[in-house]
Structure 1
Amino acid sequence: MSPIYDCSVDSELLSGMRLARAAIGRGELVVIPTDTVYGVAADAFNPAAVQRLLDAKGRGRQSPPPVLIPGIPTLAALAEVVPQAVTDLVQAFWPGGLTVVLPAQPSLVWDLGETRGTVALRMPSDTVALELLSETGPLAVSSANLTGRPAARTAAEAEGMLGSSVEVYLEGGEAGGAYDRVDDRDSSSTIVDATALAAGTGLLRILRHGVISEERIRAIVGDQLATADTTEPADTTGQASDAPL
């Protein structure tokens, strides 16, 4: 059984973070708290580690994981184009429950799966996650559960599903308390596809509704967000995963 470190206890936080950093550096998996649900994390630039993440969850390469980042400046480093509307959104909602899909920098040496040249990026609002990200850099992170099972709200729930496939579990209390939820859907981040806007061929689209409402997004970007009856291309990003994070 892999250890669970209670991050509310100073000594366990120090030990857990040290071991989590080392595990990420070796290409192993770590479970971390986020502001939405618990996530299973791997070095985004280690293809073997990303594949280990997909295997642990029982997912294929057609469901690439999002990438969590430590701050807004990292957005421009990983995305090829960042439209002004996306800048406005992340300034309003990061750190927090908004995931943005953008064209990935073509020079990046990574393999997240079948992304079709895109990347889904989010800056979480959780101190443990942000501290780890500040030391490791971008992490590929998907919800800490087996595919088809409910997303874990605690490290113990995650350990019950993922077991020894994860090297270190960081317990940060029940996830999702920062948001008002009316159903399980609302425990996930809201995913906004900005690829068409970045290419100059269309509008922003909501791929998955979550903790940031459509009304709040529209209040920031106005008519740059497609409406339900707007004719838009079908989702081809591969990033609207079934894993809420």
Structure 2
Amino acid sequence: MTGTELLPEAAIGRAAGLLRAGALVAFPTETVYGLGADARQARAVARIFEAKGRPRFNPLISHFPDAEAAFAEVVADARAHAVAERFWPGPLTLVLPRAPESRIDPLASAGQPTLAVRVPAHPLARALLRAAGVPVAAPSANRSGAVSPTTAAHVMDGLGGRIEAVLDGGPCAVGVESTVLDLSGPKPLLLRPGGVTEAALAALLGPIGRPGAAAEGAALPAPGMMRSHYAPGLPVRLAARAVGPEEALLAFGPPLPGAGAVWQLSESGDMVEAASRLFAGLRWLDEEGARRGLSGIAAMPVPEEGLGAAINDRLARAAAPRG
């Protein structure tokens, strides 16, 4: 990459085309600038983590121009429709079960059965989302741990040279991040307070619960929120140096010989490619291994450098003892 384009508002078409092509484009929302990628493309989503230096594969919120587009990706009940009618567009994220026909790549949801979806209120963001025509995964457009950006200049300072473009919509209305409400279970749960108050939600839905304590290092249904453990049905063995015909192999680099089934993360050792193929690979090996009667999944070592730390973090949780 030679540099980051700073695009004026009128360049929505250019920004939308970049997103569809798998590029990273920062854009304004009503809270802060988001770092957008086509949520259908695993490699583009993996590049978000790389650009931000995000330490692990926390789920990302996917953004849509309207409720109809958002609900095409999830299973939305009457509660979700009522909340969306009242609070969308706006700073509210809903966590709902993934629809079987959802196009969003598992990496964007950290391999979870739920998706976090939002319809932002910023007019330029919605115009970009309409023009792109794809779900856009977008955390804040800053290096991990840095202050969230509220101007295009802030984004350029932190991510210039690491992403393809910034769509300049002027300063954001500085405010709190979106409220995150989990409607995937029988009781509404407030996972993160934000721009929509708990009182306003309770007036519509009744009592709102809070998530219980989570195990250290467990996966999250949305950034900074309630945690749950994801793992394949087959047990995962880490740092495999040999593999037999009774095991499936998650390969990184030249594959070990003799496995009953093989999924290649990246034969060339490309960390972005490996990250983009991780969750799809675990799912495929689990299904194919069960179909072939295999006993488990052997994962070859992945270096800790760059996205390797996030890959190993996810694999360690997948391999953890089952409760």
> Normalised by the size of structure 1, how large is the TM-score?
0.82
Residue 90 of structure 1 aligns with which residue?
84
Shift of 1:31: 0.5
Q: Is the 8 A contact 1:115 1:239 kept in 2?
A: no
Q: Indicate yes or no: 2:34 matched with 1:35.
A: no
Q: Extract unaligned runs of 5+ from structure 2.
A: 226-323
**2:195 is matched by which residue type in structure 1?**
V
Residue 190 of structure 2 aligns with which residue?
206
Partners of 1:60 and 1:195 in 2: CA distance:
26
Counterpart of 1:159 (choices 143, 151, 156) is 156
Query: Aligned residue pairs: how many?
Result: 218
Q: Is the 8 A contact 1:106 1:117 kept in 2?
A: no
Q: Indicate yes or no: 2:12 matched with 1:2.
A: no
Q: Indicate yes or no: 2:64 matched with 1:69.
A: yes
Residue 239 of structure 1 aligns with which residue?
221
Partners of 2:113 and 2:219 in 1: CA distance:
8
Partners of 2:51 and 2:136 in 1: CA distance:
16
Shift of 1:117: 1.2
Residue 142 of structure 2 aligns with which residue?
145
Q: Extract unaligned runs of 5+ from structure 1.
A: 8-12, 182-186, 198-202
Partners of 2:140 and 2:163 in 1: CA distance:
13
Partners of 2:17 and 2:76 in 1: CA distance:
32
2:101 match: secondary structure: coil
Q: Indicate yes or no: 2:204 matched with 1:220.
A: yes
Cα gap change, 1:124 to 1:169, in 2 (>3 Å):
same
Residue 169 of structure 1 aligns with which residue?
166
Q: Is the 8 A contact 1:21 1:135 kept in 2?
A: yes
**1:126 is matched by which residue type in structure 2?**
H
Partners of 1:37 and 1:17 in 2: CA distance:
18
2:37 match: secondary structure: strand
**2:202 is matched by which residue type in structure 1?**
R
2:173 match: secondary structure: coil
Partners of 2:219 and 2:129 in 1: CA distance:
25
Shift of 1:155: 1.1
Partners of 2:38 and 2:182 in 1: CA distance:
23
> Alpha-carbon deviations, 1:56-92, whole Å to 9, x = none?
111245312110011111233100x212112111111
2:65 match: secondary structure: coil
Shift of 1:234: 4.7
**1:150 is matched by which residue type in structure 2?**
V
> Alpha-carbon deviations, 1:200-225, whole Å to 9, x = none?
xxx111111111111111111113x2
Partners of 1:234 and 1:83 in 2: CA distance:
26
Partners of 1:150 and 1:242 in 2: CA distance:
16
Partners of 1:56 and 1:113 in 2: CA distance:
18
Q: Indicate yes or no: 2:177 matched with 1:188.
A: yes
Partners of 2:222 and 2:20 in 1: CA distance:
28
- Give the alignment's Cα RMSD to 1 decimal: 2.1
> Alpha-carbon deviations, 1:12-42, whole Å to 9, x = none?
x1xx212212211221100000011100100
2:131 match: secondary structure: helix
Query: Higher Cα Rg: structure 1 or 2?
Result: 2
Q: Is the 8 A contact 2:70 2:119 kept in 1?
A: no
Q: Is the 8 A contact 1:208 1:240 kept in 2?
A: no
Q: Indicate yes or no: 2:90 matched with 1:99.
A: no
2:160 match: secondary structure: helix
**2:85 is matched by which residue type in structure 1?**
Q
1:196 match: secondary structure: coil
2:48 match: secondary structure: helix
**1:171 is matched by which residue type in structure 2?**
D
**1:57 is matched by which residue type in structure 2?**
K
Ranked by relative contact order (alpha carbons within 8 Å, sequence separation 6 or more), the top structure is: 1
Partners of 2:219 and 2:96 in 1: CA distance:
9
Q: Is the 8 A contact 1:61 1:114 kept in 2?
A: no
